[in-house]
Structure 1
Amino acid sequence: MTRQIVSVVGGKDVPSAGAYQSTNPARTGQVVADVGLADAGAFADACRTAKEAQREWAKVPPPVRGRVIASIGRLVEANAESLAKLVTEEIGKPYAEALGEVREIVDTCDFFLGEGRRLYGQTVPSEMPDKNLFTFRTPVGVAAVITAGNFPVAVPSWYLVPALLCGNAVVWKPAEYAAASAHAMYQLFVAAGLPDGVLNIVFADGDQTFEGLERALGEGTVHKVGFTGSSEVGRRVGELTGRHLQSACLELGGKNPMVIMPDADLDLAVEGALFAGFGTAGQRCTSLGTVIAHESVHAEFVERFARAVREARIGDPTQDVLAGPLLDQKFADRYEEYLTWIQPHHRVVPGEVGRITPDNPRGDFTGDGGLYYHPVVVDGVRATDRLFLEETFGPIVGVTGFQTFDEAVELANLPGYGLSSSIYTTDPKHAFRFREGVSAGMVSVNNSTSGAEAHLPFGGNGKSGNGSRQSGMWVLDQFTRWQAMNWDHSGRLQKAQMDVVDITPDLDFRL
């Protein structure tokens, strides 16, 4: 039976102003959910509702809010298989990866439940006698969170869990093509004991969301915006929040490099490149963009990499496969455009390109009517090529070469993104020099460009973000503001910098 899903604000269903069908990309005729879309007015109303609810939620002691987060984690854990199966059904993510994604929510809850007892401030010494100085973390207010659908439950948890723990209310706008997964996650969060209005979910298209967000910012009912998506849309969100004197938390795209040094373990590098480039069909913000291989190992690496890609299993995401289909038709259309960027000076390996169909099969696999595409490795990419400079969201990896270490670092930074990066080497000097030189917010040594842990900062620079970080204790700075307090118990007015205790040195003293 097809799921019927609508927005929920203040615990109540919101009337729909439009409609959307979420379909299974592995079987494109199968409808997963009929989604009622809200309009800009409903989004703005949700922000007003959240502002009212946030006042009381902020009064709940942080350790008690931490217990709610703990309950969310236990509920997600108890429903992990069902939620993972829904993710696989709705976006075509292989089940093993989907189950790992759900586990990321649990890990995030496990980390942040303790932060309810560690929202520490400080006691600071004053330059005045009989005066104490304090600092406190206070909630920002209402957070508007807009997320993509390639990680429909894990990445949203990086925003929702710390935002709620810190005493904020949230209006969450998930991707429409992953609406069923998002709605199921919303239900688990609410079942943990969140009061009505503290977490609201709004399904809307991009234009209505942007208009509603602009209204809410103008009315002062949104105090923080979190956005995961493309660099192009991230710029618009950053511009909008900047006009209202806010800084958004932006987690954007990537063109993530992997450097292969002459001393690299090539088998390990191939394994890392295969997972980074083609896991989730290359549809991660941390997916491998370009392999930068030293000239002495370039040819051998490409040969081994092409063999691994040729042997990798692509197909039904409910089975043991490296990758399933692309997420949605719009991503398939965009990916086909990326394939037009392949130039005559490129060498395509293993060879097959395009959608997997009975006329263009992958071995015995003919595509089953889903949005399946051949994984592609493009050797001979140049630093001036679009394939080198621009993000390609899908199963395509470029390969280029280098002669010197400094050249490799320069190539790694050249596209202007700065999310994730990787280097394969057995030389600690090169590992640390790469860390110093690369612009990425995350660096892996002898590991893939993909992968995150709940207690490490996640985020990028340049086209990949504005330096904000998710996960770990670092994200607390996104959802709290520092408040300073001074308490003078001297019984008289003391004026800082005017009434400081004067200790006069003898500056003419000589030994």
Structure 2
Amino acid sequence: MSPHAEITSNDGTTSGRVSTLSQPQLLFIDGKYIPGSDNATFPVKNPMTGSILYDCASASKADYETAIENAHSAYQTWSRTGPSARRRIFLKAADIMESYITGDAPEFMSQEVSATMHWIKVNVFATAGLFRETASLATHIRGEIVPADRPGTTIFVERQAVGVVFAIAPWNAPINLTARAIAVPLLCGNTVVLKPSEFSPKSQDLAIRALAAAGLPQGCVNVLPTSAERTPEVTEFAVKHPKILRVNFTGSDRVGRIIAGWAATCLKQCVLELGGKAPVVVFEDANIDDAVEAVVFGALAFSGQVCMSTERVILHKSISQEFKEKLLKKVETIKTGNHLEDSTVTISGLFTSAHAARVLGLVKSAVDGGAKLLTGDLQATGPRGTIIRPHILQDVSSNMDIAHVETFGPVILLSEFETDEEAVASANNSDFSLCGSVFSRDTLRALDISKRLRLGACHINGPSLYVESTLPQGGTGGGSGYGRFGGMAGVDAFTEKKIITIARPGLKFALEHHA
């Protein structure tokens, strides 16, 4: 029985709000919440206070084997389910998901990942939208009829589900990125084994609860939270398992490279959305106020802990000073603090104190190397040192670590250019290739520049932090990974093209010698 049963009605909506945060979180295998096979657990802590929120079951390799076998069995029937039945499940799940905004979502995300109410709403409503958009794809998974040179032959190319997909979803947008990892694979007829982050199992479970309550059959999605200590061995086990036929991962480029290496040993396809260091190019004719607003939003939403976050702002020299002055003035209005004590806070704590120390270490190293700190106090505050004010740097040289690694925090690097070629070269001077923006009133010029930037997505006169679930999301290699989530690109990623030919009865086949 689900540990949430006492507060969840038949349609999955929450009634009679009773907090379940302190209850243990279990594995979800074959439609049931169960402890791990060896009863191992790990504590999930509030990153702001360090207090233990609950104990979570830690899956072993034996649990992964069980889950994969259950998913493989469920695939045999789910893959033959009609599109209308799948569509109904996702549409119902969207309505259920929206109800969680007055249910468990605010408490779970606030406590697990220090999310402010703005970020919680983004997760809940974007996930509901993702479920609806995914539902709309149900009858668009189409093949084709191909003309045959051979007489008496008809050729079909059909799109078929792959089988069992292994998915790993991160903590930073826990509900939305969990839904993205499983939704299109499921709609295509695959089944999924999901490993959520050890930092946010309950938040991520909300996407699973919504689908289960909407009628997703048992075994179609199986969820195995795992302690940090066990994660490497169970992940390698799952990636290399012969019944896992696709892998998708959203997370750091460091881990993505490891997963890609494991998958390569068994020639297994992956979709990897990894790191980012989004550039924003601001030309001399740009609307400066609009560009400042977009940079502040793109860089500081959820404290910069998003792969699409703006990290580099490349300014035309003629407007550089005006932009800096307006940016600093705008950043001064951003309220930083403890969201547990003040609900009006915009920037709260980072996801661990160790990560906060890493971010500050990068900034301090740059300052020691000669970079100029325009704003920021080089301090981490809060009960466990996770809260960092926005930091803005200029004069960052290419030999500084912060120029190349993903900061994943509230940090903005400013630089200048004079020619279009310099702007393009500066924006492309990164191993990351996920997204970025260009600001100019000359739309055709901006369009031309956007085509020259090595990015999976480029937004003209808008923030780098922008995505819709129908868009093909992903980088163009390097530290941002490869493959695409979203819309028909996701259908391509999680289906195979299968050739089926029909020969007319009595057709004669002969070996012929061709000179």
Same structural fold, with TM-score higher than 0.5 when normalized by the shorter chain = yes
Structure 2 counterparts to residues 456-475 of structure 1, below 5 A: 456-475=471-490
Q: Name the residue aligned to 2:101.
A: 80
- Closer/same/farther in 2, CA of residues 425 and 383 from structure 1, 3 Å limit: farther
CA distance in 1, matches of 2:371, 2:271: 37
Q: 1:377 aligns with which of 392, 400, 411?
A: 392
**Higher alpha-carbon deviation: 234-243 or 205-214:** 205-214
Q: Name the residue aligned to 1:21.
A: 43
Q: Name the residue aligned to 2:30.
A: 10
CA contact (8 A) 2:43 2:52 kept: yes
CA distance in 1, matches of 2:137, 2:332: 46
Question: SS at the partner of 1:105?
Answer: helix
Q: Name the residue aligned to 2:80.
A: 59
How far off is 1:69 after superposition?
Answer: 1.5
Q: State yes or no: 1:37 paired with 2:58.
A: yes
Residue deviations 1:330-379 (CA, integer Å, cap 9, x gap): 422322332332234211122422213xxxxxxxxxx4667211110011
How far off is 1:321 after superposition?
Answer: 3.4
Q: Name the residue aligned to 1:140.
A: 162
Q: State yes or no: 1:328 paired with 2:343.
A: no
Residue deviations 1:259-278 (CA, integer Å, cap 9, x gap): 11111111111111111111
How far off is 1:185 after superposition?
Answer: 2.5
CA distance in 2, matches of 1:398, 1:18: 44
* Identity across the alignment (%): 27
TM-score, normalisation: structure 1? 0.90
CA contact (8 A) 1:328 1:371 kept: yes
- Closer/same/farther in 2, CA of residues 411 and 313 from structure 1, 3 Å limit: same
CA distance in 2, matches of 1:147, 1:495: 53
- Closer/same/farther in 2, CA of residues 373 and 351 from structure 1, 3 Å limit: closer
CA distance in 1, matches of 2:94, 2:88: 10
How far off is 1:473 after superposition?
Answer: 1.3
Would you say how many aligned residue pairs link Structure 1 and Structure 2?
Answer: 488
Residue deviations 1:29-53 (CA, integer Å, cap 9, x gap): 4433321212233223321221122
How far off is 1:66 after superposition?
Answer: 1.8
CA distance in 2, matches of 1:34, 1:324: 24
Question: SS at the partner of 1:171?
Answer: strand
- Closer/same/farther in 2, CA of residues 55 and 495 from structure 1, 3 Å limit: farther
CA distance in 1, matches of 2:510, 2:163: 32
Q: 2:363 aligns with which of 339, 345, 361?
A: 339
- Closer/same/farther in 2, CA of residues 51 and 484 from structure 1, 3 Å limit: same
Question: SS at the partner of 1:176?
Answer: coil
Structure 2 counterparts to residues 259-298 of structure 1, below 5 A: 259-298=281-320
Question: SS at the partner of 1:305?
Answer: helix
Residue deviations 1:143-202 (CA, integer Å, cap 9, x gap): 110111001010121121111111111111111111110123322221111222111110
Structure 2 counterparts to residues 53-452 of structure 1, below 5 A: 53-85=74-106, 86-206=108-228, 208-317=230-339, 319-344=343-368, 345-356=370-381, 367=382, 371-452=386-467
Question: SS at the partner of 1:343?
Answer: helix
Give unpaired runs (5+ residues) of structure 2: 1-20
How far off is 1:204 after superposition?
Answer: 0.9
CA distance in 2, matches of 1:493, 1:341: 76
CA contact (8 A) 1:289 1:397 kept: yes
CA distance in 2, matches of 1:60, 1:207: 38
TM-score, normalisation: structure 2? 0.90
Question: SS at the partner of 2:507?
Answer: coil
CA distance in 1, matches of 2:351, 2:480: 23
Question: SS at the partner of 2:55?
Answer: strand
How far off is 1:23 after superposition?
Answer: 2.7
Q: Name the residue aligned to 2:70.
A: 49
CA distance in 1, matches of 2:466, 2:149: 47
**Higher alpha-carbon deviation: 286-295 or 10-19:** 10-19
CA contact (8 A) 1:3 1:180 kept: no
Q: Name the residue aligned to 2:12.
A: none
Residue deviations 1:196-238 (CA, integer Å, cap 9, x gap): 2111110113553342343345441211111011101100101
Question: SS at the partner of 2:230?
Answer: helix
Question: SS at the partner of 1:311?
Answer: coil
CA contact (8 A) 1:25 1:370 kept: no
Residue deviations 1:52-72 (CA, integer Å, cap 9, x gap): 221121121232122212221
CA contact (8 A) 2:245 2:269 kept: no
CA contact (8 A) 2:278 2:435 kept: yes
Q: Which amino acid aligns with 1:59?
A: R
CA contact (8 A) 1:5 1:183 kept: no
CA distance in 1, matches of 2:508, 2:468: 50
How far off is 1:386 after superposition?
Answer: 1.7
CA distance in 1, matches of 2:495, 2:131: 18
Question: SS at the partner of 2:216?
Answer: coil
How far off is 1:97 after superposition?
Answer: 2.0
CA contact (8 A) 2:282 2:316 kept: yes
Give unpaired runs (5+ residues) of structure 1: 357-366, 501-511
CA distance in 2, matches of 1:465, 1:17: 37
How far off is 1:83 after superposition?
Answer: 4.4
- Closer/same/farther in 2, CA of residues 293 and 315 from structure 1, 3 Å limit: same
Question: SS at the partner of 1:3?
Answer: coil
CA distance in 2, matches of 1:112, 1:185: 14
Residue deviations 1:76-124 (CA, integer Å, cap 9, x gap): 1222332430222321122122112111111111112122122111111
CA contact (8 A) 2:276 2:480 kept: no
State the superposition RMSD in angstroms: 2.1
CA distance in 1, matches of 2:437, 2:172: 22
